[in-house]
Amino acid sequence: MAKHNTHRIPGRAQNPTHNAQRAARGLGGAAVLGTVLVGTAFAGSAQAAPASSPAPAAPSAQTAPAAPVQTAPTSQLDTSEKLRWGSEGSTVENLQSTLNESGADLSEDGVFGPRTHDAVKDYQANNGLQIDGVVGPETFGSLNGGSVPSGGTAVPASSSSEGSSSIVDAARSAIGTPYSWGDSSLSGMDCSGLVNYAYEAAGIDVPRTSGAIADGGRWISESEAQPGDLVAWDGHIAIYAGDGQIIDASGSKQEVVERGIWGNPIGFVTYR
């Protein structure tokens, strides 16, 4: 039996072009020769490498939240008149609205009553103002967003020796003045008129009637009372002079006098 010859036939050379094409196809199908083939092979290897991932884009800047806007009081208060217990009208309503913006909780009804009075005194205490419950230039200025004008004081006048002396000295200057119901001058005055006269000398505004004066201040014990504070009876008011003494416009004596505390006062009141 004839054996198959597994050797190549002598003289039959392999086609270099054919081999190159096969090699090229193995390297990506480029049918080129020589050095071109080698370059293509390297090119093919480069193409096969995964592309570099692009650098991540910088995150876009976040817009910072806007800062809260500080607002001035809703409306500027009319400062042409002083407001006190008993005042009424649109100016009082505006006052109540402005006090509410500062933390009070008032009905904006335009009536200056006990709650508004207390809110004014709280505001004055918290802002270094004279604590008298009256809305005058200093308190108006503060409520309107300004500073305390020169001449304003951060200490209630009646709590200082100077203020106490001013009240008592003014009251003593009126001793002997005739009693005159409803008046408040050295020509004649009643009990609340004397208090208005003496407190005005110390730069403190108080209501006009004895009952409103007593209700407008802060009730204290006798042991807490200082000269310049007030002693109240039902329907009568006097200035405490210290050491158990008072100065008052006496209806029974028909003049301003200095004397000891008499009868049974209902209590002591301070505007400190």
Domains of the chain, start order: 75-154 (1.10.101.10), 157-270 (3.90.1720.10)
The confidence score (pLDDT) of residue 75 equals 56
Check pLDDT > 60 for residue 137: yes
The model's confidence at residue 44, banded by pLDDT at 50, 70 and 90, is very low
Q: pTM of the predicted model, to two decimals?
A: 0.47
**H or E segment and range at residue 68:** none
- With 0-12 CB in 10 A as exposed, 13-18 as middle and 19+ as buried, what is 127? middle
Q: Are the C-beta atoms of 179 and 188 separated by less than 8 Å? A: yes
The confidence score (pLDDT) of residue 118 equals 85
Check pLDDT > 60 for residue 93: yes
Q: Are the C-beta atoms of 194 and 171 separated by less than 8 Å? A: yes
The CA distance from 110 to 90, in Å, is: 6
Residue type, 15: N
Residue pLDDT, tens place only, 228-267: 999 999 999 999 999 999 999 999 999 999 999 999 999 9
The model's confidence at residue 72, banded by pLDDT at 50, 70 and 90, is very low
The CA distance from 53 to 62, in Å, is: 25
Check pLDDT > 90 for residue 12: no
Residue pLDDT, tens place only, 148-159: 443 443 334 334
What is the C-alpha end-to-end distance of the chain, expressed in Å?
141
The model's confidence at residue 129, banded by pLDDT at 50, 70 and 90, is confident
Assign 3-state DSSP to the chain and report helix, strand, coil percentages, each to 5: 35, 15, 50
Q: Are the C-beta atoms of 94 and 75 separated by less than 8 Å? A: yes
**H or E segment and range at residue 199:** helix 191-201
Q: What is the 3-state secondary structure (H, E, C) of 70-120?
A: CCCCCCCCCCCCCECCCCECHHHHHHHHHHHHCCCCCCCCCECCHHHHHHH
* Residue 89 CA to its chain's centroid (Å): 26
The CA distance from 177 to 249, in Å, is: 8
The confidence score (pLDDT) of residue 172 equals 94
Rounded percentage of the chain residues whose pLDDT exceeds 70: 64
Average pLDDT of every residue of the chain: 76
Q: Locate tokens 């270094």: which residue?
A: 128
Residue 192 tokens read as 């609340």
